[in-house]
Amino acid sequence: MEINLSPSGLPKPVFPLPLPERAVEVASPVRKGWILYEVKPGDTLSALAARYRVDPKHILWSSGLTSDRLYPGQRLLIPLVGVEERPRRVPPGVEVYRVRPGDTLDTLSKRFGLTPLELISANPSLESLDRLVAGSVLYVPRGAKGLLLTLGEGETLVDLASRFGLSPVKVAKANGVENPAELRPGDLVLLPGIQAKTTYQNLLAKQEAERRARLEAERRRQEELRRLAEERRRQQALAQAQARRQQAQVARPQVRRVSYQEGGMRWPLSGFRITTYFGQRGAFQRYHTGIDLAAPYGTPIVAAKSGQVEVAGWSSVGYGFHVILDHGGGVETLYAHMSRIAVRPGEWVEAGEVIGYVGSTGWSTGPHLHFEVRVGGVARNPLSYLP
């Protein structure tokens, strides 16, 4: 016996091996098991079922799904049915078309000279009239028109023909089939003259509902944009009006300077205007026991005359934060509605010394100083004591 060395260095026999008496034909391998598939954007149940040549219901059952809606990232178990690896049979006269980006049912119907209903009948598993997934398969009838169905497990051409009241001979002729037994599960069968009207009407209703939902969402978005724009305009107008008021108060201070016989005090503010005078303000209004001097918020308030701080705190009768100075001889001055107090009870302050700041605390409608002069506990007209 001669022995040669193989490329691997092992000896190999050179005499021929005995052959079997007759050749054995080995069939194509059978697919069994499942594919674990992660859903990608644009995937639909019908497109996956067509790609792997399985019934969409089998994917639902294997994956434990209750709805045909798929989400990116979702994991599916796609069963591989026990059929031989061979292309699914497509009836003669039916063209297999791969969807391109931008294709719609309307454009494809016009391109191939079909009505939308005829195209839907050839693709009854479509889920939308508007959204076609690029790369998915559409079947385009170029000859006889009708309903194109996938032959189910254990189903025959005769079963389909009987279900739709058609002659098996007519169906076999339309599909170019001489022996119906040669059809396998997963093959496509054309049922001539049958139209998927209910499916088409449902898709039209779904399309209209989606259109209305988009219009409503856009209406709400535009309404929110208008509301935000109006709110911005209102805020800008308020800010501009406030800036004009502040500029007017700074640029044109209205200081009333009068001379009265009793005198002896100084103005407690600078850059102010008198908004309310001492005395009766109207038939049905409260008697005003002082004068109101309007000034910007935070303007320093000074002592109108030297004296001792008698009160410095919050008032329970509407003055807010206020200070009362005792000038001796029964003469007192009161400063109300402060934003902040700068002195403490018992302190001695000189005329012109800061005792607080303009605010709007207590019963007040805006930043100002309410200034009173009291003699023996009785309110007097402050203008009689000011220069």
Q: Cα 197 to chain center, whole Å?
A: 37
User: In the block, which residue shows the tokens 């303009």?
Assistant: 358
What is the per-residue pLDDT for 252?
A: 46
What is the per-residue pLDDT for 250?
A: 59
What is the per-residue pLDDT for 191?
A: 95
Instruction: At 175, give phi and psi (nearest 5°).
Output: -100, 5
What is the per-residue pLDDT for 1?
A: 35
Handedness of CA 171, 173, 177, 180 (dihedral sign): positive
- Alpha-carbon distances, residue 1 vs 16, 122, 123 (angstroms): 12, 68, 67
What is the per-residue pLDDT for 291?
A: 95
Which amino acid is present at 297? Answer: Y
**d(Cα 185, Cα 89) in Å, to the nearest integer?**
10
**76 exposure class (CB count in 10 Å sphere: 0-12, 13-18, 19+):** buried
Question: Contact, 134 vs 40, CB < 8 A?
Answer: no
- Alpha-carbon distances, residue 361 vs 91, 193, 297, 311, 335 (angstroms): 90, 87, 11, 16, 12
Which DSSP symbol is given to 303? Answer: -
What is the per-residue pLDDT for 5?
A: 37
What is the per-residue pLDDT for 293?
A: 96
Contacts of 274 (CB under 8 A, 6+ apart): 254, 256, 291, 292, 293, 294
What is the per-residue pLDDT for 8?
A: 39
Question: Contact, 178 vs 170, CB < 8 A?
Answer: no
Question: Contact, 159 vs 168, CB < 8 A?
Answer: no
What is the per-residue pLDDT for 108?
A: 92
Question: Contact, 144 vs 154, CB < 8 A?
Answer: no
What is the per-residue pLDDT for 282?
A: 64
Instruction: At 221, give phi and psi (nearest 5°).
Output: -65, -45
The pLDDT profile of the chain, 387 residues, written as one tens digit per residue, is 333 333 434 334 333 434 344 333 333 444 457 788 889 887 888 778 877 878 788 888 888 888 888 989 999 988 876 444 567 889 988 999 988 888 888 899 999 999 999 999 999 988 888 778 888 889 999 888 999 999 988 888 999 999 999 999 999 999 998 888 788 888 999 999 999 898 889 988 888 888 898 899 999 999 999 999 999 999 999 999 888 887 776 554 444 443 333 458 999 999 899 999 998 776 667 789 999 999 999 999 999 999 999 999 999 889 999 999 999 999 999 999 999 999 999 999 999 999 999 999 999 999 999 999 999 999 999 999 998
DSSP 180-249: GGG--TT-EEEEET---HHHHHHHHHHHHHHHHHHHHHHHHHHHHHHHHHHHHHHHHHHHHHHHHHHHHH
Q: DSSP 3-state assignment of 328?
A: strand
Question: Contact, 92 vs 176, CB < 8 A?
Answer: yes
What is the per-residue pLDDT for 337?
A: 96
Question: Contact, 225 vs 231, CB < 8 A?
Answer: no
Question: Contact, 31 vs 54, CB < 8 A?
Answer: no
Question: Contact, 43 vs 63, CB < 8 A?
Answer: no
What is the per-residue pLDDT for 383?
A: 93
**d(Cα 2, Cα 161) in Å, to the nearest integer?**
68
**pTM of the entire predicted model:** 0.39
